[in-house]
Amino acid sequence: MPQPHATIIGAGIVGVSSAAFLQRAGYRVTLIDRLPPGEGCSFGNAGGLAFAEIVPPIHPRILLKIPGWLMDPLGPLTIRWSYLPKALPWFLAAGRNALPARVAAITEARANLALRVVADFETLLRDAGSTDLLKYEDTLRLYDNEQQFAAEANERAVKKTYGYEMKRLSGGECRELEPALSPHIHCGTFHGGWYFVTDPERTVKTIAEHVVRQGGEIIADDVVRIAREGTTAKTLVLKSGRNIALDKLVICGGAYSHLLARQLGEKVLLEAERGYHMVLPNSGVKLSRSITYASTPGAATPMDMGLRLAGSDEFAGLEAEPNWARADALWKIFKKILPTLNEPDSATTRWMGRRPGTPDSLPVIGPSKTVSNVWYGFGHSHMGLTWGPTTGRLISELMTGTRSNIDLAPFRVDRF
């Protein structure tokens, strides 16, 4: 019997994880991406394995904040108004998913997806010989006052029911852990499960390098078209003019994935949630863990290349030019709680990436409903690094007929 072969579109954390787990299951694999592994959206995140983040980002309390955020062009959530007509169906669906019953169902699905996050990550890093990249220090969440802390009581209670305890610390205890913190911090909590990697790009690259050592192939090219015969995907047509014959196809193309799914007759509500980061090699701040701030979404993470400030959600489509003022705004936010934070200098770098977000904050994981030999793994929004290895394992299990440890129905492609 010939060895099965999987072609995987996308060499971010989801794509390389899928390749690695499929190799472990006996597949020969080929990865295709116009960028080298880890240089797309996987490059620029906050580095978090945020497995305790089971409550969806849009829920009734946050829904009330969104109008105010949208009025601030440099706020945590913004939309370029010329893009609103195109994004409106996504936002309407997100509003429906913020109703209490939907939030409860989405929370359950996210909690199930989180069950083996650390174990799946450890499997791939151990195979790649790069376990040193993962730091087992829980992220610290910081509050300016008691009102901020009280406002998140419901989210803490929900997380506790799933086993994620957010232990409270006084402001003084926070500063004992992290002396760089402002004396004005009122209190803090541990997230209950949010580790980090010290270099997201290198994390993806080391897994990809192991895939190549095991016989995998990486092709630097862009997929233009998926050619079909009936209900079978037969050939990929690449921008270079090359054609790739298909056995099995896995689409992990990030924010571009819905365009490929559309070629197969499947409609997916997917938007590019554009995120920004700033890296300060000369930050003047030492942290032993990642921190988040209740005042605004985002995280500051100590990484090998410097202190990374990451966050922001901008809806402007796939092709709009970056608004670098949004990256600079991150410095102003974290300066409030890290008073010795140095100003950006000539060594400071800024980045913008396109997170693939669905309106229910759940990824698409599973088989195509229109084509017999295609599987999907995309739409992870802010949770790509966290859920990437687990998505790769689940795709491998689906393709080999292995029973999964969770119900995959909430992640099906035809739910939109």
- Per-residue burial over 328-351, b = 16 or more CB atoms within 10 Å of its CB, e = otherwise: bbbbebbbbbbeebbebeeebebb
State both tokens at 272. Answer: 């590019």
CB 360 within 8 A of CB 102: yes
What is the pLDDT at residue 296? 87
pLDDT at 73: 65
Q: What is the pLDDT of residue 210?
A: 98
The pLDDT of residue 226: 98
pLDDT score at 82: 85
Count the Cβ atoms, other than its own, within 10 Å of residue 102: 15
Q: Which residues contact 311 (CB under 8 A, 6 or more apart)?
A: 46, 76, 275, 276, 277, 296, 297, 298, 299, 330, 333
Q: What is the pLDDT of residue 27?
A: 98
In whole angstroms, what is the distance from residue 50 CA to residue 76 CA?
A: 19
Query: In 3-state terms, what secondary structure has residue 97?
Result: coil
Task: Identify the pLDDT of residue 106.
Answer: 97
Q: Which of 268, 281, 260, 412 is nearest to 345 (CA)?
A: 281
Mean pLDDT by 10 residues, the chain (416 residues): 94 98 98 96 94 87 64 71 87 91 96 98 98 98 97 96 97 98 97 97 98 98 97 97 97 97 97 94 98 93 97 88 92 96 97 95 98 98 96 98 95 97
Residue 79: what pLDDT? 80
All structural domains of the chain, each given as residue ranges with its CATH number in brackets, are 5-415 (3.50.50.60)
- Using CA atoms, how far apart are residues 334 and 236, in angstroms rounded to an integer? 45
Cβ proximity of 240 and 221 under 8 Å = yes
